[in-house]
Structure 1
Amino acid sequence: MAETSRRALRLLSLLTARRSWSRGELAARLEVSERTVRRDIDTLRRLGYPVASLRGPAGGYRLGAGHTLPPLLFDSDQALAVAVALQTAPHTVSGLAEDATRALEALEQIMPTRLRQAVEALRLTRLQNYWEFPAPPIQAVALQVAGGAVHRHEVLIAETLGPGGTRPVPGTAGFSPARRIEPHHLVVWAGRWYLVGFDHADDAWRVHRLDRLHLHAPTGIRFTPRELPGGDVAHLVMTTYDRGDTPAAWECTGSARLDLPAETVARWAPGGSVVEHLDSGHCRLTVGAWSWAGIAGLLATFDTDLTDVQPAELVAACHRLAHRFRAAAGTGLPTAGTRP
């Protein structure tokens, strides 16, 4: 009986992991006969789980909607993944801290001892790293509206918010009419949420910072998904320089003109920096850090010529670093156009 119960739980776990299974696949996974699989399916049905039979030469099963799954079905890796997710989600989505804490506590109460101990050992203390560039947590309702529109292929109506999350008044600086967007993807990168979609106002693909959009109520207007340029949403987000990013709050903020295309710099610039397109081979990067030397160091990582460096404090930091590196190298600086 104990072996049958364990096998039934394993069978239930498999049914939740995929939409449908053939009888032969389940038998192979459980290392039993197909006749035993049929008996275990009957056991699950008697326990109230709506397992539907699929027609076909091989036969198969699907777990229906409306079932309630006990968290005891989590294996060690799944339990740890849920624990990490519940502890990190409130840092990117606002309003979830209390609910996530209660969910984690409820999960621990019904876990076997070995899993509970593993989860308790993974209690996270989040520290702010000097080189993190996070955005303010996104509102959960905005995430639900945007995510629902992406899932249902529904057109979104959105307005671009001004500084501090305010909605600019028509006729004032910074105001732009509401946009019609075909949302295709929600992406999290560098602690920021982005909405990727086809923007009717620009008749082009755009990447929008989700926390800088005021989303209207769902429209119910469906659209046919378009083919994503290049087919790689991560590459599109990381190489788009006009994502609506604003400089993160730092003690020091500076900028420079780089002899590189904007899309190249946007790919490697830290989150919270701003890349401005100047021409096909040049852009301006605005970035913050805890010191002027820190900004100079970030600019140096692009290994290209820098001009129009601002402000004067950043120029002075560049001179200090040049002097230090010259002393560290024990030789003079190479002349322009030569390599050391």
Structure 2
Amino acid sequence: MAVLHPDAGLAARQRQSQLTKPAGSLGRLEALACWLAERSGQVCPPLPQPGIAVFAGDHGVAADGVSAFPSAVTAEMVKNFTRGGAAINVLARAIAAPLEVVDVGVASPLPAELPIVHARVRAGTGNLRTEAAMSLDECRQALAIGRASARRLHAQGVTLLIAGDMGIGNTTASACLVCAFTGATPEDIVGLGTGIDDARRAHKVAVVGEALARAQAAGAHDGESWLAQVGGLEIAAMAGLLLEAAALGIPALLDGFIATAAALAARAIKPAAADWWLASHRSQEQGHLRALAALGLTPLIDLELRLGEGSGAALAVPLIQMAVRLHNEMATFAEAGVSGAA
């Protein structure tokens, strides 16, 4: 696990007090720059360079009617990613972020020539309501796939990692994980996902409750076993990326509900890893704020998003970069010849 640099953080806070502005007038942007200084070990941290990995996997529980879309959409969206037509493609281009798409567990066959990372552990998870989503060994394979993605992006010069998701049914798996790691009830956490109606939401609440009871009876008790019982292959890969970010000493920017569920699992596996994560935005998904609170994180923005793919995190990148630029490039009172506060 990479170490923090509290001396650099303290020096960054001292620098903030000397910049040509009233103390605290840039609000959370000041704290954000100092947070990055403490992790980079530099009083003036380098401008974060983002990189995005979108992990794709299907969920057996989708057969229980918990989503507004069929499982076939997962593979269709993977193909859309490769053509550059999805929201995350647009955003990645806008922030000059390398983007890789990883098949961790798509159920439908994908052409071998498709320009993605072909790392399928299995063709979708089991139906978490009635059986384990995956074996413990398969879960560990998915975690390793996420770790490898973090290392590939880091090798390209990435210093701010984003994990995106694509998987029909994954809000159900994520709701299970959030309930497992926070003690919340399904009624508290389950939302509308891809846009289901109230009747289907009530069914989804029941499915999550059954899955939690089954998993607990099967012995789920820690990060890996809960992921294996009620998670998703793409969610486990996202957790792996978050864990590797901390190991490499690179901040990771959480996206929405799915990414935050992955973060709760990753923290259960390695608690100190959470020191390296930021929350980008508040999702419209009902349980997201509860999940963020459990991690002790406050989102940077709230744009009423509920897309996934890493889109909310990508949108927050320019804000983070501006926080660093303000911190690094503003003049101090002494440099500008401006009188400080009396």
* Bigger strand fraction: 1
Q: State TM-score, norm by structure 2.
A: 0.25
* Bigger helix fraction: 2
Larger relative CO (CA 8 A, sep 6+): 1 or 2? Answer: 2
Q: State TM-score, norm by structure 1.
A: 0.25
Larger-gyration structure (1/2): 1
